[in-house]
Structure 1
Amino acid sequence: MLPNKYTYNKYGTRSNQTDRVTKRSMSDSKIGSSVSYSSTDLRSGPSSSSSNTSISSNSVNDTGKSKTQEVNEMDFCNHVLHNDARVRNDSSIKYIRNVNNPFEGYPKLSKLHQLKRSQMIKHAVKPYGVRIPTEKIIPTLYHWIEVYGIKFDVIMIGALVENQFILPILNNIPFHKLCSKPGFLFIWATTQKIQELTNLLNNDNFNKKFRRSEELIFLPIDKDSPYFPGESVDESILLFERQQWHCWMCITGTVRRATDNHLIHCNVDTDLQIESTTTNGKKNAVPDALYRVAENFSNSNRRLHIIPSKTGYDTPVKLRPGWIIMSPDVMINNFNPKQYKEELYSKSFVHYKASSSGNSMNSTQGNGNVYSNAHFLVPQTEEIEELRPKSPVIASKNG
């Protein structure tokens, strides 16, 4: 069955069949002021041709409306109303035009993402999984620290399922020994858990160790998405806020964007990530966007993802190159600490930095109280350095 199509004139109103025939016989300069839309494909919204009218920008039409007023009337709301589109409140996000290609119109940014992705894959350790019951997560982390001296530069906590915010586990993770300095923490929660997340980051295990730097948001495209929060929600929260997943990115240690470009690349991604319509319905507890944000921001090669509790058969936990994923439901259990440390040295650019305080199990003692701490990094190319966003250089004032 063919989709219903309606034609709109330049004022945003639906024209009848007689008007449509009349418009087809008009000159090319007039045809540009009418647009046809399909009621089955609303993603692109009103096209740019809707503003291609034959009048000048300073002139007015016979109704007394200027060109600017006409363009403002051809908006998405008008388009949906006149197409009789039955768009649910929870699914309007899928009609954002560049949801599948957020780099549309930004070729340099698109190229930067491709280059960083290829570098990450080239230098990533193989994907590791640690299938472990929830109650054994904390003892296992202590075992890694005490026996193998393992540290991580990037730690992510939680998946986009609602039973991941387990306070007893989060309060007892030994971050002071597990996370290197500088290090980065990404922790996810729903809007309903945001106050609990605030209290969590203010307790002794986090306070004075991590400082909150950025808040990231992930939006599922509709209620059928596997990442959409469950039905047990507070009805007093606005619908759009109910859909949101929040992530607080926290930093421990000192990192400066102007001088520590070997550690971090800022502003490569936006703070808002939207689920792609091409992946809707695919089962995975963690969308790729969550990992990409962390990988693009931090150039560190030691990454740990802790998913505290079961996610269920409908949302399996898949492995990802460059990450150790710790979960009761991770698909493969293949982590070997010794093999992992050997791979780190072979795959990473190892940058040594002298430190005069703190004895790390991952450090080599030098003369006196000076220690040389190793940073395992993804090496960056000159092309990446040229393309990436940078902080403006402030000229020094001559005294």
Structure 2
Amino acid sequence: MMIVVMIIQLRFTLLSLNDNISRQRTTAVWPEATAKPANRQKNKTHEGDETLKRRRFGAQGVTLDDGIAHNSQSEEVMAYRDSSTFLKGTQSANPHNDYCQHFVDTGQRPQNFIRDVGIQDRFEEYPKLKELIKLKDELIHETATPPMYLKCDLLQYNLRELNGKFDVILIEPPLEEYQRSCGVTNTRFWSWEEIMKLEIEEVAAPRSFVFLWCGSSDGLDLGRQCLRKWGFRRCEDICWIKTNINNPSKVKNVEPRAVFQRTKEHCLMGIKGTVRRSTDGDFIHANVDIDLIISEEPPFGMMEKPEEIFHIIEHFCLGRRRLHLFGRDLTIRPGWLTLGPELTNSNLNTEAYNAHFNRTANDYLTGCTERIEALRPKSPPPKSALGGPSRGRGRGGIQRGRPPPV
């Protein structure tokens, strides 16, 4: 009898020992098993959060319904059933301002909340830049030619009849992609093949700039082809970010081949000739403005571009010979020659217009004051091999005393 009792006690001892060893191995090999109850309790702290946690493992891993991983190669993956995790405020599991989710919920674009985007408010905290812009605007106004304009069909009109060259050419074509967002209209929309046939190279000065609005679709690539055909090199891409503060509608115009909501347009900038900002300060003032325009999207059926593009051009290039193609009555502006089929009148006199630039050698430039030269951003002046000043072509308000290029 004693022998039987000892055998039973020995079996219970061995079973207890094996159980302890098994538990130790489980804790060492699968540490997540011991942390699972704490994780479950933590996940219940946010009411209404229907986040489902799943775990994905390697080829040899096993996942049980209770969520316990039986492999050391476990990797946690979050899956979300709703947007409660991304709500704004402290009630969210991850508190933050999610403007993308706000756009999905309300239709208000994230760029609506960017502050101080207007020309009047942008430089309030930068007094030197504010003074620079004020002085440049005054100088541009003083040196601007009277506005001239010509109603013409640019498909048939020969640009050579202008009998002059231009330092800046702004092209605002009615692209075919605008037709999908304009509804019924009398506007004739242009294909990129027709735009490329414009003889811009015939009226561009040896050193000049072109600004081409190319939409938000395939115009970025086709616009570059136009620049190359006209003899320009792309140097900048000005982006117009459209806000919808006045019309935060949830109805969204989706392009047929678009992947995302398109809320911007591009204006490609091309350069012809050799222009260096370190030596050609009499012709360009670089870094005065940025390459972004943030303004309200025009109402449905209208193709107006932001007026700020004129300010960017005038602040940058000091050439006074400015040509605007596909202009309208609203875009007639002092200092510009405007051509387009949508104009309602004409007052162009080519001889009178060209006479504004032929009286002296530098009449085609606005010039520069000493104060503007001191305030504007500029590169350090280059030096010659001997360490002295460069023998380059003047800076800032220094006039070079040569006739305008033809």
Q: Find the partner of 1:108 among 110, 114, 128.
A: 128
Q: Are residues 1:171 and 2:196 paired?
A: yes
Which residue is equivalent to 2:67? none
Query: After the TM superposition, which residues 53-64 of structure 1 pair with which residues of structure 2 at under 5 Å, given as runs?
Result: none
- Say if 2:167 and 2:209, in contact at 8 Å, map to a contact too: yes
Q: 1:132 to 1:383 in 2, by over 3 A?
A: same
Partner of 1:195: 221
In structure 2, what is the equivalent of residue 142 of structure 1? 160
Contact 1:160 1:286 survives alignment (8 Å): no
SS at match of 2:137: helix
- C-alpha contact 1:319 1:330 (8 A) present in aligned 2: no
* 1:381 aligned residue: 369
TM superposition score normalised by structure 2: 0.60
User: In 2 relative to 1, CA 176–189 (structure 1 residues): closer, same or farther, beyond 3 Å?
Assistant: closer
The one-character-per-residue Cα deviations of 1:109-154 (angstroms, maximum 9, x if unpaired) are 11111111111111101111111124323x2x1222xxxx311110
SS of residue paired to 1:154:
strand
Match of 1:287 in 2: 306
Is 1:95 the counterpart of 2:113 in the alignment? yes
Task: Indicate if the aligned counterparts of 1:211 and 1:250 stay in contact, CA closer than 8 A.
Answer: yes
Give the partner amino acid of 2:165. Answer: K
Task: State how far apart, in whole Å, the 2-side matches of 1:394 and 1:318 are.
Answer: 40
Q: Residues 308-347 of structure 1: CA distance to partner in whole angstroms, max 9, x if unpaired?
A: 8xx7xxxx5431111111111124421111111223346x
User: Structure 1 residues 133, 396: closer, same or farther in 2, change over 3 A?
Assistant: closer
Cα deviation for residue 198 of structure 1 reads: 3.0
The 8 Å contact of residues 217 and 245 in structure 1, kept in 2 or not, is answered as yes
Equivalent positions of 1:257-268 (< 5 A) are 257-268=277-288
Give the Cα separation in 2 of the matches to 1:115 and 1:74.
45
Change (3 A) 1:395 1:379: closer
Partner Cα distance (1:212, 1:85) in 2? 35
Does the alignment pair 1:155 with 2:143? Answer: no
Kept in 1: contact 2:244–2:296 (CA 8 A): no
Which of 368, 392, 398 is residue 380 of structure 2 equivalent to?
Answer: 392
State the structure with more CA Rg. 2
Please list the CA deviations of residues 350-378 of structure 1 after superposition, one character each: whole Å capped at 9, or x if unmatched: 43xxxxxxxxxxxxxxxxxxxxxxx6000
Distance (whole Å) between structure 2 residues aligned to residue 389 and residue 292 of structure 1 = 17
Partner of residue 323, structure 2: 304
1:124 aligns with 2:138: no
CA distance in 2: counterparts of 1:232 and 1:302, whole angstroms: 39
8 Å Cα contact 2:322/2:337 also seen in 1: yes
- The Cα of 1:284 is off from its aligned counterpart by 7.7
C-alpha contact 1:99 1:276 (8 A) present in aligned 2: no
The whole-number CA distance in structure 1 between the counterparts of 2:138 and 2:95 is: 41
The residue type equivalent to 1:334 in the other structure is N
Provide the residue aligned with 1:329 in structure 2: 342
The alignment yields a C-alpha RMSD, in angstroms, of 3.6
How many residue pairs align between the two structures? 279
Q: Is the 8 A contact 1:152 1:178 kept in 2?
A: yes
Aligned residue type for 2:234: R
Query: 1:160, 1:188 within 8 Å by CA — same for their partners in 2?
Result: no
Deviation at 1:160, TM superposition (A): 7.6
Q: Is the CA contact 1:156–1:187 (under 8 Å) kept in the aligned structure 2?
A: yes
Q: Where does the alignment leave 5 or more consecutive residues of structure 2 unmatched?
A: 1-87, 89-93, 180-188, 388-406
Identity over aligned pairs, percent:
28
